[in-house]
Amino acid sequence: LAKTTQPISMDSYEGQEVNITCSHNNIATNDYIMWYQQFPSQGPRFIIQGYKTKVTNEVASLFIPADRKSSTLSLPRVSLSDTAVYYCLVGDVGSGGYQKVTFGTGTKLQVIP
Amino acid sequence: EAQVTQNPRYLITVTGKKLTVTCSQNMNHEYMSWYRQDPGLGLRQIYYSMNVEVTDKGDVPEGYKVSRKEKRNFPLILESPSPNQTSLYFCASNPTGSNQPQHFGDGTRLSIL
């Protein structure tokens, strides 16, 4: 089961682009990579997912190199409301399609005015 | 409104007194999971269920039980709670397929004295 490693915390000023990298050296062929955002006292909320190369949506971009041993979540022009914990997740599809997932410990992003 | 509902949201109880945390989803999702969240450890999966009557252990199943008698409900049972089970618990659901984003409840904060 792939495990993930992320920086514990990051600070950024408003308006800057933020890149958070997650390492998942033991990722399996069928695993997808997902990122979630969590505000205090709330459950995590899905942001973006990918399998390889680059994915972009209205909120973020996700960059995955060819070896898939890491991924980078990119948040363009962050605002104070982006202050949250960001989790990298690698999903493991076992036999029969059972879902067993592993969250990283998360990266606490603090956006500074 | 699509949602995952957990009850109770907060509970303080004593060691050894059996308790159940309920989880219900209204999205007809096949997969459901329970997680606990502790400082410095991120989210750890306790149990998951692929469908009715099909459950399996996650990373930290000791001291917990689950059941899945109906598709919409996935209760978490602590038969004999202990202080080390004091934590923030989240229930999540998602459609079939490990690459489908999970929808999380708002959490249940348990304190075992």
pLDDT tens, A2-61? 578 999 999 999 999 999 999 999 888 878 888 999 998 899 999 999 988 899 999 999
Determine whether the interchain pair A91/B98 forms a contact, defined as Cβ–Cβ distance below 8 Å.
yes
User: Mean pLDDT throughout A74-78?
Assistant: 95
pLDDT tens by residue, B29-77: 999 999 999 988 888 999 999 889 999 998 899 999 999 999 999 999 9
- CB-nearest to B107 from A43, A51, A106 is A43
Taking CA–CA distances from A6, the nearest residue in chain B reads B42
Which tops the pLDDT comparison, B105 or A27? B105
Taking CA–CA distances from A106, the nearest residue in chain B reads B42
Distance from CA of A86 to the nearest CA of B (A): 10
B58-96 burial, b at 16+ Cβ within 10 Å, e below that, comes to: bbbbeebebbbeeebbbbbebeebeeebbbbbbbbbbee
Determine whether the interchain pair A98/B48 forms a contact, defined as Cβ–Cβ distance below 8 Å.
yes
- CB-nearest to A43 from B42, B48, B104 is B104
Chain A within 8 Å of B21 (Cβ-Cβ)?
no
Query: Do A10 and A109 meet the contact criterion of CB atoms below 8 Å apart?
Result: yes
Q: So what's the pLDDT on residue A41?
A: 83
What's the CA gap between B61 and B57, in Å, rounded?
6
Nearest CA to B63 out of B40, B88, B46, B51 is that of: B46
Phi, psi of B104 (to 5 degrees): -105, 150
Determine whether the interchain pair A100/B104 forms a contact, defined as Cβ–Cβ distance below 8 Å.
no
Confidence band, pLDDT 50/70/90 cuts, at residue B97 = low
What's the CA gap between B90 and A27, in Å, rounded?
25
Taking CA–CA distances from A105, the nearest residue in chain B reads B42
Confidence band, pLDDT 50/70/90 cuts, at residue A96 = very low
Query: Do A10 and A107 meet the contact criterion of CB atoms below 8 Å apart?
Result: yes
What's the CA gap between A107 and B97, in Å, rounded?
26
- CB-nearest to A87 from B40, B43, B59 is B43
Taking CA–CA distances from A4, the nearest residue in chain B reads B42
Query: Do A30 and A1 meet the contact criterion of CB atoms below 8 Å apart?
Result: no
- CB-nearest to A103 from B42, B94, B98 is B42
